[in-house]
Chain A
């Protein structure tokens, strides 16, 4: 069950504020890193909604993000729509894609669900890889950012765009937290914990799962829009399954089923990767060891572990701490 504890709110706001300061004070590259973190964090939060609370580990989140980015490009570049409605179409397409996957794979669980999402994600990847009209594997440029000039906001400025990305992280987090606290979210967790009981209660688990994956895909679609507007160029690489694998690693590092953990995971993952690759070309080994260490130390992830210590210290001995939702 999801709880937006004061500690979580504090960590969320502190992290976002820290990133905002880093972007303002740091150089140009710091802003690139902040946007990169924001995109990864949104994807990780969206994956945590289904993986951490619904037990649906998806390898299609990269594809959902990419589908949204491509739809945005189709409407804004190819059909000449303004950016905002194009972005809504992108997010809508991604949500639809997620719902469809959820509905079709409604009966599969565990590794079979992972493989099914992999199959649909790779199909979408192949479609864009081969679609010459959209540039095929060469990708597509000529995208544009939202025009917020009427608000006096210049989106072309890198610092403004970094702030915009951080605001979107906050919005996505709030949306995810809100949905998880509704009856819908509680039912989702219920299905994960005991599917048979929920079915006996008259819940259509297939429909519920499809809706959850659709919601998660919608959030991933937001990441797709930011990614497309960030580098103003899209390529099929966004959709490939290893992108989704990386997002999964981020969720686990940060703490599955904590919603705030994925944000921390994204911060650590991106910063670590850039720090390591400044010294060596072998950053895979560090990430690999970190992943193994995280799981072996209890699998709670960084935030989950901290929360675990905190609850153990504040609760009287003998009483067991609340188990993470994983």
Chain B
């Protein structure tokens, strides 16, 4: 929060001193949850977005309007309409939950306003419900999990039990994993979808997993449920090795899981300990700007949303139509490695990293144990090209 105030104060002071009103070239609507379950994600995405603008010294070029979706689809759509029709933004950035994305999809498509999705992973958004105006720089649910199925089979793990919350994202993640895992010769010996948001005891499911004869567990959980699950898994003595979608041990909250998270292996499109010049610079800048915090994958979504937007502007995009047309041509190497937009779906093409959470000098950190390069989604009914 601090640097933002300072930079705003500086901008204000500069504006007064020079007596020239700053004219922003591009108006951006940040459509994110700032209250409710996903407020922490909304804040991280905003911080990443602002950092990218500040580091490149271009805060003056972009005027930002923030709107809180409260993670409620009707509120999200109302705010999207406000951004487009009243604030007349050139581009909308954000959207954390797939429900809100589903609510605004038809509107932005019909109003022909470019939307850069900075989190929501619903496969359909860049599948059969894709749009020339919706570009996703975050991930798709299938994208982060397919590589894990193949990789686990290659490690010689023959039988797996799966668990995820009973909602669309949970199902998509498990189905994507199951598809590649069984194709590579693995066997799913059982699995359960747990009631979303109302399961506080995972003990019964862990006992089921053990009784199923599986050699390992593969799960997707995020946020508070991820903390509860990993801690309870740890308390039962880690009887089966735990694998999962990387959100399970996100750097945003892995410290709350403590020792229980050690040894958990997951796959994700970003790991803060990636040793590349781009990522090292990013992690250092993020920590310097935000009280030493480690950037999460959510912060990177915000950062990359701003980077791709700036790249589009640099190649001549200036209004809604040209921004939408230019975004799919963006290609650059960022904190998570080489990144490009697939013109066939408008979904990001990126590396997926398989990482293990390890204890290093009393602190939890991530050790990358495998990299699957340039993971690209099938168009699955998307006919952009």
Tell whether any CB of A sits under 8 Å from a CB of B in the complex. yes
Residues of chain A having any CB pair with chain B under 8 Å: 27-29, 32, 36, 129-130, 135-139, 141-142, 158, 227, 230-233, 235, 237-238, 277, 281-284
Interface string of B95-136 (1 = CB under 8 A from A): 000110011011000000000000000101000000000000
Given the contacts A36-B78, A136-B167, A232-B106, A28 and B85 also touching, CB distance less than 8 Å: yes
Given the contacts A233-B102, A277-B68, A284 and B78 also touching, CB distance less than 8 Å: no
B82 lies within 8 A of A231 (CB): no
B168 located at the interface, meaning its Cβ lies under 8 Å from any Cβ of chain A in the complex: yes
Given the contacts A28-B85, A32-B82, A138-B98, A282 and B35 also touching, CB distance less than 8 Å: yes
A137 lies within 8 A of B167 (CB): yes
A237 lies within 8 A of B168 (CB): no
Q: With a CB–CB cut-off of 8 A, which chain B residues contact A29?
A: 78, 81-82, 85-86
Bound CA span A235–B68, Å: 18
Residues B299-340 near A (CB distance < 8 A): none
- The residue in chain A whose Cβ has the minimal distance to the Cβ of B167 is A137
Residues of chain B having any CB pair with chain A under 8 Å: 34-35, 39, 68, 72-74, 77-78, 81-82, 85-86, 98-99, 102-103, 105-106, 122, 124, 166-168, 196
Q: With a CB–CB cut-off of 8 A, which chain B residues contact A233?
A: 73-74, 77, 102-103, 106
In this complex, the member of B35, B98, B124 whose beta carbon has the largest number of chain A beta carbons within 10 angstroms is: B35
Q: With a CB–CB cut-off of 8 A, which chain B residues contact A27?
A: 85-86
Instruction: Quote the shortest CB–CB distance from B85 to chain A (angstroms).
Output: 4
Bound CA span A233–B167, Å: 18
Given the contacts A138-B98, A141-B102, A231-B103, A28 and B72 also touching, CB distance less than 8 Å: no
Instruction: Quote the shortest CB–CB distance from B129 to chain A (angstroms).
Output: 9
A227 lies within 8 A of B74 (CB): yes
Given the contacts A136-B168, A233-B73, A233-B106, A28 and B86 also touching, CB distance less than 8 Å: yes
Bound CA span A269–B105, Å: 28
Apart from A28-B86, A233-B103, list 17 A-B contacts with CB within 8 A.
A28-B81, A29-B82, A32-B81, A129-B167, A136-B167, A136-B168, A137-B99, A137-B196, A138-B102, A138-B168, A230-B74, A233-B102, A233-B106, A235-B73, A235-B103, A277-B34, A282-B35
13 pairs of residues in contact across A and B, judged by CB atoms under 8 Å: A27-B85, A29-B82, A32-B78, A137-B167, A138-B122, A139-B102, A231-B73, A231-B78, A233-B106, A281-B35, A281-B68, A282-B35, A284-B35
Bound CA span A158–B85, Å: 11
B77 lies within 8 A of A237 (CB): no
Q: With a CB–CB cut-off of 8 A, which chain B residues contact A235?
A: 73-74, 99, 102-103
A141 lies within 8 A of B82 (CB): no
Bound CA span A138–B74, Å: 13
Instruction: Quote the shortest CB–CB distance from A283 to chain B (angstroms).
Output: 7
Q: With a CB–CB cut-off of 8 A, which chain B residues contact A281?
A: 34-35, 39, 68
Instruction: Quote the shortest CB–CB distance from B32 to chain A (angstroms).
Output: 10
Instruction: Quote the shortest CB–CB distance from A87 to chain B (angstroms).
Output: 18
Q: With a CB–CB cut-off of 8 A, which chain A residues contact B85?
A: 27-29, 158
Bound CA span A137–B99, Å: 7
- Report, nearest first, the 6 A-B pairs whose CB atoms are least far apart: A28-B85, A29-B82, A281-B34, A137-B167, A28-B86, A27-B86
Bound CA span A196–B157, Å: 69
Q: With a CB–CB cut-off of 8 A, which chain B residues contact A282?
A: 35
Instruction: Quote the shortest CB–CB distance from A230 to chain B (angstroms).
Output: 8
Interface residue from B68, B78, B168 paired with A137 (Cβ < 8 Å): B168
- The residue in chain A whose Cβ has the minimal distance to the Cβ of B87 is A29
A139 lies within 8 A of B73 (CB): yes
B102 lies within 8 A of A231 (CB): no
Q: With a CB–CB cut-off of 8 A, which chain B residues contact A129?
A: 167, 196
Instruction: Quote the shortest CB–CB distance from B72 to chain A (angstroms).
Output: 6
Bound CA span A235–B72, Å: 9
- The residue in chain B whose Cβ has the minimal distance to the Cβ of A126 is B195
Q: With a CB–CB cut-off of 8 A, which chain B residues contact A138?
A: 98-99, 102, 122, 124, 168
Instruction: Quote the shortest CB–CB distance from B176 to chain A (angstroms).
Output: 16
Q: With a CB–CB cut-off of 8 A, which chain A residues contact B122?
A: 138
Q: With a CB–CB cut-off of 8 A, which chain A residues contact B98?
A: 138
Given the contacts A227-B74, A233-B106, A139 and B99 also touching, CB distance less than 8 Å: yes
Q: With a CB–CB cut-off of 8 A, which chain B residues contact A139?
A: 73, 99, 102-103
Bound CA span A227–B168, Å: 23
Bound CA span A174–B164, Å: 48
Q: With a CB–CB cut-off of 8 A, which chain A residues contact B105?
A: 141
- The residue in chain A whose Cβ has the minimal distance to the Cβ of B104 is A233
- The residue in chain A whose Cβ has the minimal distance to the Cβ of B67 is A277
Bound CA span A142–B129, Å: 12
- The residue in chain A whose Cβ has the minimal distance to the Cβ of B75 is A36
- The residue in chain B whose Cβ has the minimal distance to the Cβ of A227 is B74
B73 lies within 8 A of A141 (CB): no
Bound CA span A132–B196, Å: 15
Bound CA span A138–B121, Å: 12
Bound CA span A32–B79, Å: 9
In this complex, the member of A135, A142, A158, A231 whose beta carbon has the largest number of chain B beta carbons within 10 angstroms is: A231
Instruction: Quote the shortest CB–CB distance from B177 to chain A (angstroms).
Output: 19
Q: With a CB–CB cut-off of 8 A, which chain A residues contact B106?
A: 141-142, 232-233
Q: With a CB–CB cut-off of 8 A, which chain A residues contact B34?
A: 277, 281
Q: With a CB–CB cut-off of 8 A, which chain A residues contact B196?
A: 129, 137
Bound CA span A143–B1, Å: 41
Bound CA span A232–B106, Å: 9
Bound CA span A227–B78, Å: 12
Bound CA span A314–B275, Å: 79
Q: With a CB–CB cut-off of 8 A, which chain A residues contact B167?
A: 129, 136-137
Instruction: Quote the shortest CB–CB distance from A122 to chain B (angstroms).
Output: 9
